[in-house]
Amino acid sequence: MGTVDELLEGLDAADRPSVERIYAIAREEAPDAEQGRGYGMPALVYRGKPLLSVMRAKKHIGVYPFSPDAVSAVADTLAGHPGIGLDKGTIRYQPDHPLPDDVVRALVRARREQIDG
């Protein structure tokens, strides 16, 4: 799998809108981001560094901001949201329990600010 566009084309119709929405929000928050790869995954890349990847796994959709600190920045906001799980550098969710737009925006901003240094 090469690009974000190829990833989206290959998704099941039930998952595609949810994943597309997250990439669309990320592109709004980081309009200079380009398609690339991060840790072998299709990703948006900002200033040469991976910004965000969203991938369908067997049991969930994973959002990977390539930064445990970016996940920590939104962790409190996600507390109590059904169907959402957090790991060190990952947010997991189900399409029927999507991430709120404001959380996606905050996540992308946190990662972008890290890259900007």
Domain positions in the chain: 4-116
Q: What angle do CA 49, 63, 48 make, to 5 degrees?
A: 5
> How far apart are the C-alpha atoms of 55 and 42, rounded to whole Å?
8
* pTM for the structure as a whole: 0.94
State which fold the 4-116 domain adopts.
Aspartate Aminotransferase, domain 1 (3.90.1150)
User: How many angstroms separate the CA atoms of 24 and 26, rounded?
Assistant: 5
Question: Could you read off the pLDDT tens digit of each residue along the chain, which spans 117 residues?
Answer: 579 999 999 999 999 999 999 999 999 999 999 999 999 999 999 999 999 999 999 999 999 999 999 999 999 999 888 889 998 899 999 999 999 999 999 999 999 999 999
Residue with tokens 């929000």: 25
